[in-house]
Amino acid sequence: MSTASAARSIGVRTSIVRRRPPLLRHLLAGLRAVAALVLAAAFLAPFAWSVLSSLKAGHEIFTFPPSWLPEVARWGNYPAVWRQVPFGRFAANTTIVTAVAVLGEVVSSTLVAYGFARFRFPGRGVLFTAVVATLVLPGEITLIPRFIMFKALGWLDTFLPLTVPFYFGSAFFIFLMRQFFLSLPIELDEAAELDGANGFQTLTSVLVPLMKPALATVAIFSFLSHWNEFLNPLIFLRSTEKFTLALGLRFFQQAAETGGEPREPYLMAASLMVTLPCIVLFFSAQRYFVRGVVMSGMKY
Amino acid sequence: MLASLSRGQRKALQGYLYTSPWTVGLVVFVIGPMVASLYLSFTSYSITSQPRFVGIQNYIYMLTGDELFWGSVLKTLYFAGGVVLVGLTGSLACALLLNTGLRGSAFYRTAFFIPSLTPIVALALIWAWVLQPRYGVVNGALAELGMAGPGWLTDPAWAIPGLLLMNLWGTIGGSRMVIFLAGLQGVPQELYDAAHVDGASGWQRFWAVTLPMLSPTIFFNLVLGIIGGLKVFAAAYVTTDGGPAYATWFYLIHLFTQAFRFLEMGYASALAWFFFAVVLALTLIQFGISRRWVYYEGER
Amino acid sequence: MAKVTRRRFVVGLGTGAASLLFSACGAPTPTATPVPAKTAEPAQRAGVSTTTVAPTNAPTPAVGTPPAITKGPMPAEPTKPAAVAAQPAAAKQTASIRFHLRPGGLVEEWFRKQAEAYSKAAGVEVKLELTPDAEYTQKLTTLVAAGDLGDAYWSGPFYVFYPFAARGIALDLNPLVKAENVDLGVFFPSVIKALMWDGKLCGLSYGSHPGYCTQFTNLDAYKEAGAKPPEWEWRYDKEWLDALKATTLDTNRDGTPDRYGFMFPYISQSAYTFIRSWGSDWIEPTELKTSWFTQEKTVAALQFMHDLVHKHKVAPPANGVVQNMFANGLTAAWQDGTWDVANMGDLIKDKFKWQAFGMPAGPEGKKGAFIGNNSLSVNKSSKYPNETFRWILWLCSKENGLAQADSTTPGPRFDVWADPKVANNPNYKDALRWISEISQPASFPKNARVTEFNTTVTQGFQAFMLETGNPRAKIEELNKAVQAILDKPLL
């Protein structure tokens, strides 16, 4: 498809020619920079507070007037977290579950979304409605039936309920990938077909390379959702040795009746340690979803 | 054998093949528990006893007898409205800002995204500090401006705005923004170039190129934003727990409370299926309307 | 366009195949059954009285935590031939008990140690299954629904204790108490009364407290204001209110005190202390079927709380409460319970001198609050009721009660409170009188809808306390809502 026709099809009017004076452009750029800075500060301030709080002693968290800085930086809070709960064990479990689930979820959701976006078949509408429907029903309500099901399968206290169901695609990602597929021109497929590629080849060699930003997005979200998943491990796991980080974090929530010193700083330290891999991952993966490769694909 | 099929039939067959993981998963993992919960919605079931069939009594009580029901519906609509209006435009604005080739975008993208990574258990603590009525950051800032800040989360009139603030902080730069960013990468540069050559201003390019090309992503975020807003639960669960004086008694808080605190699982199932029917209908209507405004490059 | 090269095709195919393989490997293999291994069906299950797996009622000193509740020798001594015959078989098989509790703090640590010690002493493995506080009911009810509840469970929160007792999930411990010759007299009578449901003993308590009957008091603030520290005979509406007024400070006179005289938590249980001290109750206490929120004395007690906030302005309104007010010196006194005595020092450090006193008496000189139990219950469908019962007994020993006093609350036994460690602590002086003479089991709905009741009361109480126009109307609303719950069938 030619770019000219695309421009026409979306109706860019060509009559008005207006160029911004350079001064205004600089001003706008400056405004944008300031806006970004202000927003970043607003987004990061609570985060900064949690970092500082993780270094405090328990009684310092809620002092009034509030203090940002700890009296002394207690770096020992971090190793203390590892002593108080089997943090390494939780991290290992979470890594395994996340890796296995993400692989299945991304691959299967991509395949299914491809099927929905590129092929016509009777029942497609109904099946896709089912995708959306599963997003709508509150999950708590199927918890007990699901528990009974996994018990019958003998899957309780294993990682299977946390991973296997995602090998059948998940609604959120199927829907998202479908949207991305639908924004790629169908001509790509047709050309591939003319070149003798079958459907799977078209997917892997033509469409997927064009969808790296979308795939990176899906992979990251999938990672985050499994890394932070709370309800499923809570209900389906039994032994502490199999717990995940999200569950372990709850161990640090203050419950006065369980005794001991205030645990807020440990909660903060633990939650930062849980978050850190996500931040690193996001930071390093973002180049994939910002440098689009769509251009090269459009050039035939 | 395949050769004997028409092109359309082969396409349909492929469609079934690619979507088959979803179909299988639906049958194996999803439908059973859903049907079970639908059945339970017609029973009186206190979890610890056997379900007893009561017909549509739960539904009648819900619509006519439950004093908290309609209040929870209104509060949920209030919250969801805020999330969709402010959240969606905010995420889009942030994505556009980050897409302008700002210096240090990698940092800003991560900074904007970090709030969405905050574990829910840490959220309560952080926001107790930010929204603290007397010494909190927000009210501190308001005091600088000579305004007396309200009792966020502790004053019934301000509890929902407080939760909205919390939600928006955590989601504006989160997955919605990233999906927008990925969508923006999918807008071919050629279209901008063509529009530029045609002399369109920045604003015109936004309306004529960006928005239509982004419409599949906008549609996705709108649909998911509405569903997510209506399913508001976690933020209220960890901070206000429905209070003060029922001020944040959202639909899912009501449902969860009925299910796992009052142990009225039958009634909670009825609440869930009512929610399901209404929200699914709403979503399908959006799909219908979307044909008028969502532009799919890959559809014909 | 990009060409479909052979390499790409192979890579693509490989990825697909690998994922298929993966999903196949992850697929169900029912061999991974996690259900507790079925050990040989114990021979001694004929009846509760034939206890064969003797947990040696005198654990070795090395273990250091003798339960020692039972009077005299345990019935499993080799006097009974039948039991002796069963002994060898029973000794080989090791019972394994699943025990549900909440994680965190010293309590978890303590349970862990006890489980090890008990395993060594009794040869019974105890597996701890931890579920966070907030999700505890959700998890346990799910387990109940699926028939997967473990042998013993922490039933501390009343939202677990009552429904499980009412639904017959908790085993009646009375027969076991008799069979094992357990002396319940070591516990405060009100504690045992609070563990009963329909004449059944539905648990034992390892940590009990007399409710929200404690006022943590900032002694420096009182001294500074020239007020005497609270005394046992003080009345709410007299000496106590005067002290509150004296200790409330508004230095800049902006109407918002820098320091309040008093603060109570905005929850149902704190109000309950006032209601009972006014000589009333929230539900009619014998039939447990009628709301008493519009009873004259109940209204008077609630109105008094309302006045503390809105008329006397000595306590913060619901929308002015901040975290750790007491520890930060923002209130001179704070209504709480004995469970915070052990930790208060960590929060306050050396900011000011403090002490825990009992709450004052109502206008007619009455005092009242409820008994809170950190109870443990046995699942009625447990395969090992005897072993499980002994595990619970073990946890309710005097030694363990004393250990609890280090972290939370000294507990349900006379001998724990009589121990110098507790008896000499001034913060427990009033609390002992409360737990032994004053606090009584809470009046909860006959239909066991305790959580529903409690949630409704808390939300309604908040609404009442926030209302400045017509607070009485809010009480009427609450009364109606509570009565509607009481009128429902058994949960």
Tell me the CATH number at B126.
1.10.3720.10
Residue A126 has pLDDT above 90, yes or no: yes
Q: Which helix (H) or strand (E) holds C207?
A: strand C204-209
Residue C130 has pLDDT above 70, yes or no: yes
In this predicted complex, what is the ipTM? 0.90
At residue C56, the 3 state secondary structure works out as: coil
Residue C192 has pLDDT above 50, yes or no: yes
Q: Which of A18-32, B166-180, C122-136 shows the lowest per-residue confidence on average (mean pLDDT)?
A: A18-32
- How far off is chain A from B64, nearest CA to CA, in Å? 22
Does B169 lie in the same domain as B27?
no
Asked if C268 and C458 touch (Cβ cutoff 8 Å), the reply is yes
Residue C2 has pLDDT above 70, yes or no: no
Residue C81 has pLDDT above 60, yes or no: no
Q: A179 and B297 in contact by Cβ < 8 A?
A: no
Does B155 lie in the same domain as B53?
no
| pLDDT tier for residue B2 given thresholds of 50, 70 and 90 | low
Residue A137 has pLDDT above 50, yes or no: yes
Does B277 lie in the same domain as B214?
yes
Mean pLDDT, range B233-247, rounded to an integer: 89
Report which of residues C133 and A244 the model is more confident about.
Answer: A244
Q: Choose among B244, B262, B265: nearest Cβ to C452.
A: B262
Mean pLDDT, range C355-359, rounded to an integer: 97
End-to-end CA distance of chain C: 67
Mean pLDDT, range A233-255, rounded to an integer: 88
Does B274 lie in the same domain as B219?
yes
| pLDDT tier for residue B1 given thresholds of 50, 70 and 90 | low
- What's the distance, CA C187 to chain centroid? 16
- Cβ contacts below 8 Å, chain A against chain B, sum to 338
Last residue of a domain, one of B32, B58, B84: B58
Mean pLDDT, range C28-41, rounded to an integer: 32
CB contacts, 8 Å: C127 with chain A: 239
Residue B82 has pLDDT above 80, yes or no: yes
- Identify which of C56, C396, C51 has the alpha carbon closest to the alpha carbon of residue C192: C396
Does B222 lie in the same domain as B127?
yes
pLDDT at C256: 81
Does B192 lie in the same domain as B83?
yes
pLDDT at B185: 79
Report which of residues C410 and C430 the model is more confident about.
Answer: C430
Q: Choose among A154, A257, A260: nearest Cβ to C30.
A: A154
pLDDT at A9: 41
pLDDT at C258: 87
Reported as a single tens digit per residue, the pLDDT across A30-66 is 899 999 999 999 999 989 999 999 999 888 877 777 7
pLDDT at A256: 53
| pLDDT tier for residue C402 given thresholds of 50, 70 and 90 | confident
Report which of residues B30 and C36 the model is more confident about.
Answer: B30
Instruction: Note whether A249 contacts C: Cβ–Cβ < 8 A.
Output: no
Report which of residues C238 and B101 the model is more confident about.
Answer: C238
Does B249 lie in the same domain as B104?
yes
Mutation target vs A (from C22, C23, C136, C322; most A CBs, 10 A cutoff):
C23
Asked if C247 and C259 touch (Cβ cutoff 8 Å), the reply is yes
Asked if B64 and B58 touch (Cβ cutoff 8 Å), the reply is no
B246: left (phi over 0), alpha (psi -120 to 50) or beta: left
Q: C343 and A155 in contact by Cβ < 8 A?
A: no
| Domain covering A79-296 in this structure, CATH number | 1.10.3720.10
pLDDT at A292: 45
Spatial distance between the Cα atoms of A231 and B233, rounded to a whole number of angstroms: 13
Does B17 lie in the same domain as B109?
no
| pLDDT tier for residue C23 given thresholds of 50, 70 and 90 | very low
Does B175 lie in the same domain as B47?
no
Determine the structural domain holding residue B121 and report its residue range: 66-299
pLDDT at A290: 63
pLDDT at A145: 93
Residue C458 has pLDDT above 80, yes or no: yes
* 3-state per-residue secondary structure call for C310-358: HCCCCCCCHHHCCCCCCCCCCECEEEECHHHHHHHHHHHCCCCCEEEEE
Report which of residues C405 and B95 the model is more confident about.
Answer: B95
Instruction: Note whether A277 contacts C: Cβ–Cβ < 8 A.
Output: no
**Residue whose token pair is 């999200």:** A246
Reported as a single tens digit per residue, the pLDDT across A210-241 is 888 888 889 999 999 999 999 999 999 999 99
Instruction: Note whether A193 contacts C: Cβ–Cβ < 8 A.
Output: no
Residue B93 has pLDDT above 70, yes or no: yes
Model confidence, pTM? 0.86
Q: Choose among C159, C318, C481: nearest Cβ to B261.
A: C159
Mean pLDDT, range C432-450, rounded to an integer: 94
Number of structural domains in chain B:
2
Residue B187 has pLDDT above 90, yes or no: no
Does B89 lie in the same domain as B33?
no
Instruction: Note whether C5 contacts A: Cβ–Cβ < 8 A.
Output: yes
- Provide the 8-state DSSP code for C130: E
- Identify which of C491, C140, C396, C448 has the alpha carbon closest to the alpha carbon of residue C283: C448
Mean pLDDT, range C385-396, rounded to an integer: 94
Question: What are the residue boundaries of the structural domains of chain A, listed by start?
Answer: 1-39, 79-296
